[in-house]
Copies of this chain bind each other. A is one copy, B any other.
Amino acid sequence: MFENRMPRYDILSEESMSVLDLGWRRIVSEIGVEFMSPWAVELLREAGQTVEDVNVKFDPEWILAQVAKVPSEFNLRARNPKNNVHIGGNSMVFGGVYGPPFVREGSVRRDATFNDFQNFCKLAQSFDALDSVGGVVCEPNDLSLDSRHLDMAFAAATLTDKFFMGNVVTAENARDVIHIAEILHGGRAAIEETPALISLINCNSPLRWDDRMLDSLREYVLAGQPVVVTPFLLMGAMSPVTIPATLAQQIAEALTGLALAQLVRPGAPVVFGSFLSNIDMQSGSPQFGTPESGIGLLCTGQIARHFKLPFRGGGGLNSSQTVDAQSAYQTMMTMMPTFLSGTNWVMHTAGWLEGGLVSSYDKFILDVEILQSLMAEFTPLEFNESSLAFDAHVEVGHGGHFLGAAHTMDRFRDCFYRPFLTNSDNYERWNRLGARDTRARAEEIWKKKLEDYVMPDMDPSTLLELSEFVAQRKSQLDS
Contact = CB atoms under 8 A, between A and B. Distances in A.
Interface of A: 6-7, 9-13, 15-16, 19-20, 22-23, 26-27, 30-34, 55, 109, 204, 206-208, 235-245, 248-249, 278, 280-281, 283-287, 290-292, 294-295, 299, 319-333, 336, 340, 354-355, 357, 366, 369-370, 373-374, 376-377, 380-384, 387-390, 392-394, 396-403, 405, 407-408, 411-413, 415-417, 421-427, 430-431, 435, 437-439, 442
A16 B381 CA distance: 9
Contacts of A283: 424-425
8 contacts: A9-B9, A9-B340, A30-B394, A238-B401, A244-B383, A281-B412, A325-B366, A328-B329
Given A11-B6, A287-B424, A323-B325, A399 B241 contact: no
A29 to B, nearest CB: 12
Nearest to A10: B7
Contacts of A242: 387-389, 407, 411, 415
A431 B284 CA distance: 18
**Copies of this chain assembled into the complex:** 2
Given A10-B7, A284-B403, A333-B377, A236 B438 contact: no
A321 B435 contact: yes
Contacts of A323: 325
Kindly list the 9 A-B residue pairs having the minimum CB-CB distance in the complex, ordered from nearest: A332-B332, A291-B377, A328-B328, A245-B389, A291-B376, A325-B328, A319-B424, A241-B415, A324-B437
A390 B326 CA distance: 35
A12 B438 CA distance: 34
A332 B336 contact: yes
A237 B415 contact: no
Contacts of A442: 325
A392 B237 CA distance: 12
Q: Which one of A11, A12, A328 has the highest number of Cβ atoms from chain B below 10 Å of its Cβ?
A: A328
A328 B321 contact: no
A393 B245 contact: yes
Given A23-B390, A319-B424, A324-B439, 11 more contacts: A19-B384, A31-B394, A55-B398, A207-B398, A242-B389, A242-B411, A283-B425, A324-B324, A324-B438, A329-B329, A329-B331
Given A357-B427, A407-B240, A206 B400 contact: yes
Given A241-B411, A340-B9, A235 B416 contact: yes
Contact of A7 (B9, B19, B435): B9
Given A325-B438, A388-B245, A412 B354 contact: no
A12 to B, nearest CB: 8
A373 B33 CA distance: 34
Contacts of A389: 240, 242, 244-245
A19 B240 contact: no
B381 A329 contact: no
Contacts of A393: 27, 31, 206-207, 240, 245, 249
Q: Which one of A294, A295, A377, A425 has the highest number of Cβ atoms from chain B below 10 Å of its Cβ?
A: A377
A326 B286 contact: no
Q: Which one of A19, A238, A388, A425 has the highest number of Cβ atoms from chain B below 10 Å of its Cβ?
A: A388
B402 A241 contact: yes
A9 to B, nearest CB: 5
A432 to B, nearest CB: 12
A4 to B, nearest CB: 12
Contacts of A369: 329
A248 B398 contact: no
Q: Which one of A287, A332, A425 has the highest number of Cβ atoms from chain B below 10 Å of its Cβ?
A: A332
A400 B31 CA distance: 13
Contact of A426 (B285, B327, B366, B397): B285
B322 A437 contact: yes
A241 B408 contact: yes
A354 B427 contact: yes
B328 A236 contact: no
A430 to B, nearest CB: 5
Q: Which one of A16, A32, A413 has the highest number of Cβ atoms from chain B below 10 Å of its Cβ?
A: A16
A326 B423 contact: yes
